[in-house]
Amino acid sequence: MGKSRVVYRCTECASATPKWGGRCAVCEAWNSLVEETEGAPVAAPTGPSSPAMPIGQVDAQCSQPHPTGIAELDRVLGGGLVPGSVTLLGGEPGIGKSTLLLQLLAKWPQRTLYVSAEESAQQVRLRAERLDAVRPELWLLPETSLPHILAAIDAVQPQLVVIDSIQTIADPAVPSAPGSVVQVRGCAHRLVAEAKRRNLPVLMVGHVTKEGGLAGPRVLEHIVDTVLSFEGDRHHSLRLLRATKHRFGPTNELGVFAMEGEGLVGVPDASSLFLTDRRTGVPGSAITPTLEGQRPLLVEVQALTNKVHATGVPPRRSAQGLDGGRLALLLAVLERRARMVMGEFEVFASAVGGVRLTEPGADLALCTALVSALTERPLLPEVVVFGEVGLAGEVRQVAHAERRLAEAARMGFTRAIVPANSPRSTTGIALTRVGSVAEALVAAGLSGRAGS
């Protein structure tokens, strides 16, 4: 054991410095340095050494994913859990991480071990009863000490392990408080090594708070194979699951759940959920068929504009579920290329239902929603809008138009405003092809200008 000393560790990038400061010198994060007593450095994991071999001789079979039995989770994971993989499930407290993982364990065909480092065995048992997860091959260990956890894995020989949570377990050999970066990273390294050695899939819960107060997840992202993030508004039942890092598949798939009395229920038909509370005939609303990975989703984009009388202060622009920079760009395009004077209006724009619209295919819907709000003219209720908008005001094609239109048709929409060179559609939806934002506004009945 080396002599212990105090260092200041960055909770974002895990770099250490002997002197405290308001900003990490390495990754430039603000207020991320926490005091820590550092003992002997945590030994790097030493797995079994394997010889080099021709790539064709590598067995690809053993990294086939095993379906979890939870369709929305499998969708995000690209088929299921890969043996020996380590997955971090991040999310704010109370979002439903423990619930999801308990449901997963209950569905797993072989023996599983749930390490509860936060809740007592009784609490977990009660929750398991509620979730109908009490089954003989689900083993439970209320424990926070890493050596005891490893011993239990040896004794129980599970085929799937859940650690709930990585921030609350600790290795007594490491002279640092539970939850500190050194502990979290050390424990995670050790668990990753075990997972690889035993070819055992391991899932770890990682808490993230809005303030980023807890140590961990950023640091852990580099260590694990997959990072899942579980999001949603605690006041609503909707929960969205995404992979932000995935070594075994795509990272853009979206899983949709609803938190019900009997646990998390998959929502295969998310479009109808997002459109449930929609009111038609109201200005400032446009429906866009967006793609989340392979999944088409109909999302309502809303906008509100409000004339401000104060001079000298730039009017407010606020974007929820949309990129603020994109909103600013589109407002400029509307002003310069479609003569929609937005300068003296406060603008609020949002994607409804807790979704984040990040793809440019939603540009045109946002533009029409903004102008609809400005002109106080509603769009026709049977219309969907999509297309990327360029700086010259041109409307550009987006990928998978047919899949978007099929989803719109399925939800009962009959007209679509689409980029001029979109491919022909067999969905039966009447297409209005537009080459510019100005044309789109005319097509949407929001402007009499441009060409007509």
Could you list the residues that contact ligand TYD (CB under 6 A)? 91, 93-99, 127, 130-131, 259, 261-263
Q: Is 99 in the site for Mg ion (CB under 5 A)?
A: no
Contact 395, 387 (CB under 8 A): yes
**Dihedrals phi, psi of 429, to nearest 5 degrees:** -75, 135
* CA–CA distances in Å: residue 383 to residues 289, 322, 414, 430: 11, 21, 7, 9
Give the number of other Cβ atoms within 10 Å of residue 46's Cβ: 8
Rounded-to-integer distance, Cα 127 and Cα 146, Å: 24
Stretch that binds Mg ion, among 96-104, 154-162, 215-223, 272-280 (CB under 5 A): 96-104
Q: Which of Mg ion, ligand TYD, none lies near 436, with the C-beta cut-off 5 to 8 A by kind?
A: none
Which does residue 96 bind out of ligand TYD, Mg ion, none, counting CB within 5 to 8 angstroms by kind?
Answer: ligand TYD
Smaller CB distance to ligand TYD: residue 131 or 443? 131
Q: Which is nearer to ligand TYD, 217 or 293 (CB)?
A: 217
Name the residue among 65, 140, 64 with its Cα closest to residue 101.
140
CB count within 10 Å of CB 70 equals 21
Q: Are 437 and 364 in contact (CB under 8 A)?
A: yes
Q: What is the CA radius of gyration of the chain?
A: 26
- Residue with nearest beta carbon to Mg ion: 98
Q: Least distance (Å) from ligand TYD to the CB of residue 164?
A: 7
Tokens of 48: 């079994």
The tokens describing 246, both together, are 């995935």
**Would you tell me how many other CB atoms lie within 10 Å of the CB of residue 26?**
14
Verify binding: residue 98, Mg ion, rule CB under 5 A.
yes
| Minimum CB distance to ligand TYD smaller for 124 or for 366 | 124
- The entry of ligand TYD, Mg ion, none near residue 288 (CB within 5 to 8 angstroms by kind) is none
114 or 248: CB nearest ligand TYD: 114
Question: In the complex with ligand TYD, which residue's Cβ is closer, 131 or 169?
Answer: 131
CB of 345 to ligand TYD, least distance (A): 39
Interface map 42-71 toward Mg ion (x if CB under 5 A) = ------------------------------
Cα 392 from Cα 425, distance rounded (Å): 27
Sheet holding 5-10, edge to edge: 16-17, 5-10, 33-38
User: Smallest distance from the beta carbon of 118 to Mg ion, in angstroms?
Assistant: 6
Q: Which listed option, Mg ion, ligand TYD, none, makes contact with residue 91 (CB within 5 to 8 Å by class)? A: ligand TYD
The residue among 118 and 363 lying less far from Mg ion, judged by its C-beta, is 118
Residues that bind Mg ion (CB under 5 A): 98
